[in-house]
Chain A
Amino acid sequence: MNMRPCSKYFGKLGQLGTVCTVFALFLTVTPPVSAAEINLYSYRQPFLLKPLLTAFTKETGIKVNVVYAKKGMLERLKAEGINSPADAVLTVDIGRLSDLVTAGLVQPVKSPVLETNIPPQYRHPMGLWFGLTTRARIVAAHKTRVKPGEIGSYEDLAAPRFKGRVCSRSGKHAYNISLVASIIVAKGEKAAQAWAAAVKGNLARKPQGNDRAQARAIKEGVCDVALLNTYYMGKMATNEKKPQQKEWAKAIRVVFPNQGNRGTHVNLSGVAVTKSAKHRAEAVRLLEFLSGPFAQKIYAEQNFEYPVKAGTPLHPMVASWGRFTADTVSLAEVARYRTLASKIMDRVSFDH
């Protein structure tokens, strides 16, 4: 009994020790402040960026600190204001880039290197953002169950012959919203809504899963056609860790829609320098690196994306799908219709 108070104090000491250890631990996590570093807010998964950033650091000696989040970045940047530590923001789609511009969070960059590397349609006229890669929203069709020529456009997905044969991820996913927005630009709100309603009527199952899941569903016979990003096709077709994904990709024929008219819808991944950037020079250097031949080649080879820099070789598999005409509509214009596209998906009850 006499030991009680004693052991209690030791317990307290132990707790104190734990707290100290914890703090010590965190101190080691905090990146040391030095001139040769930049801070990146990223909407893109770090494992996709790692090879690029490692190469950048090796070449320039500039360390890149990353925080990755799919949501909340915009609000975080807004709230942090001029004191935000972020120097640059990396996004996966045009929507986020235009949100940054609307919120007044980015600054113009003028760089001859960027202007040479990136064609004008893939960068903001005042240099507020720069596109790095595009991914085409293709139609994935089953090799035998869908006859050649049976599907040639996004509009075909709404045709009665595809009743019960279409799979889709959530209609609210950024890729689908962006596609609907491009249809609004091309044909108006009414037509876009009619299209969404008809596609919804053709669905084989409730929208679910990501792009890989749609490919798998085609392979497994749940449906015959689905919308996919080219990037996922490549990732599946070369997946050595999970060979079954190769089978999914093998079951699929890549169709670039709307080649006879406005072209295939593409989405743009890009980067912008923040207004608050404390390492502006380093950030611009990163932008130039990412648009340069080396990084563009990695994007093409490892991520199966279409590099924006002319003359960058495509991945052989991507090249094997053939050349295609991309929808030339202004991506900023498409971004403006995202809210309306999202509402259309609600009105036709696409997901439910």
Chain B
Amino acid sequence: MKSLGANSDAVLGRASARRLRFDNWTAATALIAAMAAVPTVAVVTMAFMPTDNIWPHLASTVLPLYVRTTLGLMLGVGLGTFVIGMGTAWLVTMCRFPGRQIFEWALLLPMAIPAYVVAYVYTDLLEFAGPVQGLLRSQFGWTTKAEYWFPEIRSLGGAIAVMTLAFYPYVYLLSRAAFLEQSVCVLEVSRTLGRGPWRSFFLVALPLARPAIVIGLSLVLMETLNDFGTVDYFAVATFTAGILDVWLNMNNTSGAAQLASVLLVFVLALIYFERRGRRAQRYHHTSARYRALPGYPLQGRSAALATAACLLPVVLGFLVPAGVLLNYALTHYAATLETDIVRLTLNSLGLSLLAAMITVAVGAFLAYGVRLKGKPALTAAARFASLGYAVPGAVLAIGVIIPTAWLENTVDGFMRATFGVSTGLLLSGTVAAVTMGYVVRFLALSFGTVEASLAKVTASMDGAARTLGSGPAATLRRVHLPLMRGSILTAAILVFVDCMKELPMTVILRPFNFHTLATFVHEYASDELLAESSLAALTIVASGILPVIILSRTITQSRPGHGRSSNGKAKP
């Protein structure tokens, strides 16, 4: 690209070269967005195939329940993750209290445990026959269920609690990054003008962090919508449970695709209204003055409260589930040792690493292409491509299978007819197909993260770089990539950790004799044999811990002059 510009010295030639270059970016961005959107489009297309009209039956029976439950779940999980994620992020970023430095990374740990495993563990603990109620009964001499009240874990409330614990780290992560990026000057101005710490927080810090928090929340809500494992186990009738029911129990694939499409429209509407809500606002950082964050020291009761507030999500979201798994693994070590844990771990790690690299490359490319061209159609295409995250994994897997196999069979047909050779299925049922599935499913994570960080780079930087003679590619390499390094690492780790946990797509798309840690855990846990697979479940958790700590350090260091003290003191 560079040589193209350099070789053409005539004014006309240079102009046409530039136009060509611009078109290349647009075309490449559009092409990649289109490819990533194919499975989602395939799902929507399935919705238009002729089928029994499932809607009258649903509308007269379970549809209102699906809608109510789903909205309740979204509201509960949204509120829960917002309060816990954003609140703890503010505490560890702005205040000083005992344990703060540990909480900085420990608050991310629940991310390493799949939500369905958290659900299994808490059911074992809290159901009627579990140890908690058993202890209560033996302490108080109760024998039957009728004698006392205990919250039912397999319920909407239970699902909200489990998902809040499993998903709040997304909000924590993005809010913390946003709070770290804020210039203290802005907050100080607010304080000087007479606002107290609470009002400054609500009127200045929170609105400034809004884009990041919204991205965190939208990731949480999309994950809530696509979840099947937890809601199925808890028998909570969400829209997604309905999609799977229509598909599998009523043999109505198109009907299921119609429900999934309605879900997509709903997500699109949410995104649209949120964007419109802050249409007129831009969130560039105008001050380059970064001082060390003030770190309000908390004492006495407020320090204890802050510690408790940070400790609780870590204990409930990580220590308890991981502890139970460890206990199972130790007591059932004979059963768990039969498994080829090394093979499973290598498969999971290899697949997740590969998928994380590709997903981040694609996400960063799309985010940059969208920024560069600023064309609404392109932006919309990229957003649509990252909608795969909101589709239930099993349904999206079918969206991957159908177009891929169609293409392969078409090529095969052509080759047979023309050359008499069969090329067969080249991608279907291979690791490549699974990787493709992961990329499509988790594109939202990388695209969203990189887009958020790019939005904070003022357009004048691009302008300056371009005026000084850098083309789009060079600007990307020399200006944006260095600025985006932190967010690219963040995106990579998010995708990696999610891939390690991924279940439905892996199950459906995988090759023969191929198992990952997650599929292995599911094989047993789905038969309520969690103990037999606890070692594999623990391995998923353990492989998530290190990346999560790296992630926390990356974010801490993202603030100039902040982070480890060895980085040098902040400028006064």
Contact = CB atoms under 8 A, between A and B. Distances in A.
B268 interface: no
A196 B173 CA distance: 48
A84 interface: yes
Given A67-B513, A71-B394, A342-B245, A85 B251 contact: no
Nearest to A341: B249
Given A72-B398, A83-B408, A25 B350 contact: yes
Interface string A68-81: 11111101100111
A71 B248 contact: yes
Given A15-B357, A25-B346, A29-B511, A206 B253 contact: no
A22 B354 contact: yes
Interface in B217-253: 234-235, 237, 244-245, 247-253
B251 A208 contact: no
Interface string B491-516: 00000000000000001101111100
Interface in A1-44: 15, 18-19, 21-22, 25-26, 29-31, 39
Contacts of B508: 69, 71-73, 76
B235 A67 contact: no
B523 interface: yes
Interface in A180-227: 205-210, 212-213, 216-217, 219-222
Interface in B382-405: 394, 397-398, 401-402, 404-405
Interface in A80-96: 80-85
B65 interface: yes
B23 interface: no
Contacts of B144: 221
B57 to A, nearest CB: 6
B129 A29 contact: no
Interface range, A side:
35 or more
Given A39-B512, A83-B409, A222 B128 contact: yes
B458 to A, nearest CB: 26
Contact of B507 (A39, A69, A207, A208): A69
Contacts of A99: 251
A220 B137 CA distance: 12
B154 A82 contact: no
Contacts of A81: 405, 409
B550 interface: no
B456 interface: no
B405 A68 contact: no
A150 to B, nearest CB: 20
Interface string A287-320: 0000000000000000000000000000000000
A170 B429 contact: no
B239 to A, nearest CB: 14
A75 B402 contact: yes
Contacts of B402: 75, 79
Contacts of B523: 45-47, 68
A266 to B, nearest CB: 20
B249 A172 contact: yes
Given A72-B508, A351-B237, A85 B425 contact: yes
A212 B213 CA distance: 43
Contacts of B537: none
B347 A72 contact: no
A89 B178 CA distance: 52
Interface stretch (B185-193, B292-300, B524-532): B524-532
B335 interface: yes
Contact of B353 (A18, A71, A352): A18
Interface residues of B, number: 67
A210 B527 contact: yes
Contact of A21 (B334, B350, B357, B408): B350
A217 B528 contact: no
Contacts of B531: 241-242
Contact of A221 (B145, B334, B350, B408): B145
Contacts of A25: 346-347, 350
Contact of B512 (A47, A71, A85, A346): A85
B332 interface: yes
B61 to A, nearest CB: 4
A347 interface: yes
B222 to A, nearest CB: 21
Contact of B335 (A69, A76, A241): A241
A339 interface: yes
Contacts of A241: 332, 334-335, 531-532
Interface in A232-267: 241-242
A66 interface: yes
A106 interface: no
Contacts of B507: 68-70, 72
A73 B62 CA distance: 27
B424 interface: yes
B383 to A, nearest CB: 27
Contacts of A31: 511-513
A65 interface: yes
Interface in B122-142: 128-129
Contacts of B334: 241
Given A31-B512, A31-B513, A220-B129, A79 B406 contact: yes
B457 interface: no
Interface string B518-550: 000001101110011000000000000000000
B351 to A, nearest CB: 8
B249 A66 contact: no
B145 A222 contact: yes
Nearest to A216: B129
B412 interface: yes
B557 interface: no
B512 A65 contact: yes
Contacts of B354: 19, 22
B143 interface: yes
B143 A221 contact: yes
A312 B514 CA distance: 34
Contacts of A213: 528
B511 A76 contact: no
Interface in A39-63: 39, 45-47
26 contacts: A22-B350, A22-B351, A29-B514, A30-B511, A31-B512, A39-B512, A45-B523, A65-B512, A67-B511, A70-B526, A79-B406, A80-B428, A83-B424, A84-B425, A85-B425, A170-B235, A177-B249, A206-B152, A206-B155, A217-B128, A241-B531, A242-B531, A338-B251, A339-B252, A342-B250, A347-B61
